[in-house]
């Protein structure tokens, strides 16, 4: 099932704009997820974007709300690349918009708390925004100078410019 078809559960309440501090019920150990997150990083480096989704989806529903939205945005962003490789441009566009939505939700909530371990794909959201702004519709689409002209060129740019990693600690005061 593609993530673009996932709907929020009816019982799930929208996130409030309150603090990003974890409530006691959200204070879960994340160490058990680090191997899965690292495996997702390795799969991303191999260009196996669906496997990134599989690795990072493990346990994500039990994450604190702001981290859950962050991981969800990364999973969907990696899935955009998977869909593009399969020529599913319309589905990729929808999923890119969804990934950016969840990323904005994380920002609206104040970002991830300092010191919270998490996976990251450096440059992903900038790449998604650029791709959506110039998303080629057909292989013959004329692109602006310096902009990839085809989805294959966009995928190649993603492979050469995006890097996944797991952040296990964050410097005090950094976000």
How is residue 102 written in tokens? 């969840």
CATH class of 31-167: mainly alpha
pLDDT digits (tens, 9 = 90+) for 47-62: 999 999 899 998 888 8
Amino acid 114: pLDDT: 86
Domain ranges of the chain: 31-167
pLDDT digits (tens, 9 = 90+) for 110-125: 999 888 899 999 999 9
How is residue 108 written in tokens? 């609206």
Amino acid 152: pLDDT: 80
Phi–psi pair at 147, nearest 5 degrees: -105, 135
Task: Tell me the C-alpha distance between 40 and 75, whole Å.
Answer: 10
Q: Residue 46's pLDDT band (boundaries 50, 70, 90)? A: very high
Q: What percent of the chain has pLDDT over 90?
A: 44
Q: Is 27 within 8 Å of 7 (Cβ atoms)?
A: no
Q: How many CB atoms neighbour CB 111 within 10 A?
A: 13
């Amino acid at each position: 099932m593609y993530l673009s078809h996932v709907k929020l559960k009816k019982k799930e309440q929208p996130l409030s704009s309150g603090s990003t501090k974890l409530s006691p019920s959200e204070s879960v150990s994340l160490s058990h997820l680090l191997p899965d997150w690292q495996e997702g990083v390795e799969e991303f480096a191999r260009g196996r974007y669906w496997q990134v989704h599989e690795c990072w989806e493990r346990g994500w529903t039990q994450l604190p709300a702001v981290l859950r939205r962050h991981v969800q945005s990364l999973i969907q962003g990696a899935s955009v690349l998977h869909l593009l490789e399969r020529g599913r441009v319309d589905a990729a566009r929808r999923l890119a918009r969804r990934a950016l939505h969840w990323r904005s939700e994380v920002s609206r909530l104040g970002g991830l708390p300092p010191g919270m371990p998490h996976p990251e794909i450096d440059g992903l959201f900038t790449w998604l925004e650029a791709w959506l702004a110039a998303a080629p519709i057909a292989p013959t689409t004329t692109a602006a100078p310096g902009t990839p002209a085809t989805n294959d060129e966009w995928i190649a740019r993603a492979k050469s410019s995006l890097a996944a990693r797991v952040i296990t600690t964050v410097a005090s005061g950094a976000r």
